[in-house]
């Protein structure tokens, strides 16, 4: 059997691509290396699935990807996404920050409505099946497939492909391929970067993938003493003394260093500098009292000191007691000006980042310039389309990466 479209990867972009190709009347097959599709989708948004954002435009993606993102979002933007989910029966809501979630607050609900639509459209899925090679043939491709594990009957017969449950996949031919193999974050959930080699075989450039939206490693006694402590803070990254990005949010001290939403939001430039470009001299400065200007904080500390307060009492009510205890133990001065300076500009020298198992996203992959922005077809190989995180578009945290997956999958599926 020869398919019109084979979708490689059963993640968010792949599921969208398959549905939209099938709705165009194409004969579609999904090849997924995991026992079930959508495994990574289940952990998005801390299990709540941050579907997209109420503010959705190119400013939340890499500057080099603006043309591609603009073209794709013009064809399948916020209203189209919300309409699609409503059509499938998924109720949604936006929180106070503009992040849009399923009304159930469960990623499992999102995956379930996709499974229902795949069943309705009778789209088969070849599970536990990895695509090893893609060869261009006349008017299409031949894919060499390999079983990753013995295949359980993890989907009903209507969703299983030809090789499902047989112990090996047969090689398959098709007219068009949509490559939605994702990046490298959360490898235990199937994202190991195998799609890069498939794309590179057709001449595509692969910008070295590095972990993004990832905790940072630090050797500092503050992190060890304060591990487990969370505060609201403003953090700023510096690479070789140059200020790169500032973010506000949660700062979490850990045994290995720093985490929390504020750190995740500034981590991409740090990871690229340290893991790809091997740059040293990276630091993060934390403002641990962001609700007060330094002058105001200094005056408050002076007032407390003049009333006879000392040690941890100087920061009581401003910071958690654990931080006050740390200051009492480690600082040799209780001078209000010096203390205010430390609390507003505490510097941490960054030694590296955590690995792929703790990274939410991937920075790197195939440059956006190597696909047609109108169709997502490869500029190097006709009938090969690319969608999702395999392209280096670099969406910010807050629903932007999933929004890109939905949009790019829908466009590629409609065009293939």
Q: Is the pLDDT of residue 153 over 80?
A: no
3-state secondary structure of 227: coil
Residues 220 and 206 in one domain: no
Domain termination residue (choose one: 353, 371, 398): 353
Ordered DSSP codes for 41-70: GGGGGGGT---EESS-SGGGS-GGGHHHHH
Residue linked to tokens 């910010």: 396
Instruction: State pLDDT tens for residues 249-289.
Output: 999 999 999 999 999 999 999 999 999 999 999 999 999 99
* Average pLDDT, integer, range 146-157: 54
Residues 268 and 225 in one domain: yes
Domain termination residue (choose one: 314, 331, 353): 353
Q: Is the pLDDT of residue 190 over 90?
A: no
Residues 235 and 187 in one domain: no
Residue 346 CB-density burial (10 A; 0-12 exposed, 13-18 middle, 19+ buried): middle
Residue 82 CA: distances (Å) to CA of 47, 85, 89, 100: 19, 5, 11, 9
Q: What is the pLDDT of residue 405?
A: 98
Residues 110 and 206 in one domain: yes
Structure tokens of 145?
A: 């497939």
Q: What is the pLDDT of residue 313?
A: 87
Residues 236 and 322 in one domain: yes
**DSSP bridge partners of 111:** none
Residues 30 and 162 in one domain: yes
List all residues 6 or more positions away from 275 whose beta carbon is below 8 Å from its beta carbon: 210, 211, 352, 353
Query: Taking a C-beta distance cutoff of 8 angstroms, is the pair 251, 288 a contact?
Result: yes
Residues 18 and 78 in one domain: yes
Q: Is the pLDDT of residue 363 over 90?
A: yes
d(C-alpha 103, C-alpha 93), whole Å: 6
Structure tokens of 151?
A: 């295949």
CATH number at residue 128: 3.50.50.60
Residues 205 and 233 in one domain: no
Q: Is the pLDDT of residue 155 over 80?
A: no
Q: Is the pLDDT of residue 168 over 80?
A: no
d(C-alpha 42, C-alpha 105), whole Å: 11
Residue 89 CA: distances (Å) to CA of 9, 53, 110, 117, 369: 24, 19, 10, 10, 36
Residues 60 and 146 in one domain: yes
Q: What is the pLDDT of residue 311?
A: 79
Q: Based on the structure, what is the number of domains in the chain?
A: 2
Residue 308 CA: distances (Å) to CA of 258, 263, 304, 305: 34, 36, 7, 5
Show the domain range for 67. Answer: 2-210+362-415
3-state secondary structure of 378: strand
d(C-alpha 286, C-alpha 236), whole Å: 7
Q: What is the pLDDT of residue 164?
A: 35
Domain termination residue (choose one: 301, 318, 353): 353
Query: Taking a C-beta distance cutoff of 8 angstroms, is the pair 67, 397 a contact?
Result: no
- DSSP letter for 369, please: G
**DSSP bridge partners of 133:** 144
Residues 241 and 332 in one domain: yes
Instruction: State pLDDT tens for residues 61-89.
Output: 999 999 999 999 999 999 999 999 999 99
Residues 288 and 379 in one domain: no
Three-point CA angle 304, 310, 312, nearest 5°: 100
Please report which residue ranges of 346-399 form alpha helices under DSSP H: none
Average pLDDT over the chain, rounded to whole? 93
Q: What is the pLDDT of residue 335?
A: 87
State the distance between the two ends of the chain, measured CA to CA, in whole angstroms: 18
Q: What is the pLDDT of residue 261?
A: 96
Instruction: State pLDDT tens for residues 378-414.
Output: 999 999 999 999 999 999 999 999 999 999 999 999 9
Residues 366 and 340 in one domain: no
Q: What is the pLDDT of residue 157?
A: 37
């Amino acid at each position: 059997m020869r398919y019109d479209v084979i979708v490689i990867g059963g993640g968010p972009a792949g599921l969208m691509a398959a549905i939209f190709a099938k709705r165009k009347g194409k004969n579609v097959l999904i090849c997924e290396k995991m026992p079930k599709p959508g495994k990574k989708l289940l952990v998005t948004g801390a299990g709540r699935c941050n579907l997209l954002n109420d503010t959705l435009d190119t400013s939340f993606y890499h500057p080099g990807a603006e043309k591609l993102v603009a073209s794709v979002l013009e064809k399948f933007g916020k209203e189209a996404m919300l309409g699609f989910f409503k059509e499938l029966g998924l109720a949604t809501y936006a929180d106070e920050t503009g992040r849009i979630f399923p009304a159930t607050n469960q990623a499992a609900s999102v995956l379930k409505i996709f499974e229902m639509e795949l069943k309705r459209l009778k789209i088969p899925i070849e599970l536990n099946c990895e695509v090893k090679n893609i060869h261009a043939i006349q008017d299409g491709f031949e894919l060499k497939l390999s079983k990753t594990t013995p295949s359980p009957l993890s989907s009903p017969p209507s969703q299983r492909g030809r090789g499902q449950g047989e112990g090996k996949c047969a090689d398959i031919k098709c007219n068009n391929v949509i490559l939605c193999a994702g990046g490298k974050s959360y490898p235990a959930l199937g994202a190991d970067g195998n799609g890069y080699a498939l794309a590179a075989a057709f001449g595509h450039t692969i910008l070295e993938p590095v972990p993004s939206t990832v905790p940072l490693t630090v050797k500092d006694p503050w992190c060890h003493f304060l591990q487990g402590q969370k505060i609201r803070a403003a953090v700023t990254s510096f690479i070789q003394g140059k200020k790169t990005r500032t973010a506000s949010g949660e700062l979490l001290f850990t045994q290995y260093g720093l985490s929390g939403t504020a750190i995740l939001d500034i981590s991409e430039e740090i990871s690229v500098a340290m893991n790809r470009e091997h740059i040293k001299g990276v630091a993060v400065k934390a403002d641990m009292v962001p609700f007060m200007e330094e002058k105001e904080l200094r005056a408050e500390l002076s007032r407390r000191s003049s009333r006879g307060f000392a040690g941890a009492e100087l920061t009581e009510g401003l910071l958690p007691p654990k931080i006050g205890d740390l200051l009492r133990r480690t600082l040799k001065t209780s001078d209000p000006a010096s203390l205010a300076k430390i609390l507003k500009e505490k510097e941490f020298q960054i030694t590296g980042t955590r690995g792929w198992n703790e990274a939410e996203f991937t920075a790197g992959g195939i440059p956006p310039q190597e696909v047609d922005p109108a169709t997502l077809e490869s500029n190097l190989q006709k009938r090969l389309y690319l969608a999702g995180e395999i392209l280096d578009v670099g969406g910010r945290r807050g629903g932007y990466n999933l929004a890109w997956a939905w949009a790019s999958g829908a466009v590629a599926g409609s065009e293939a």
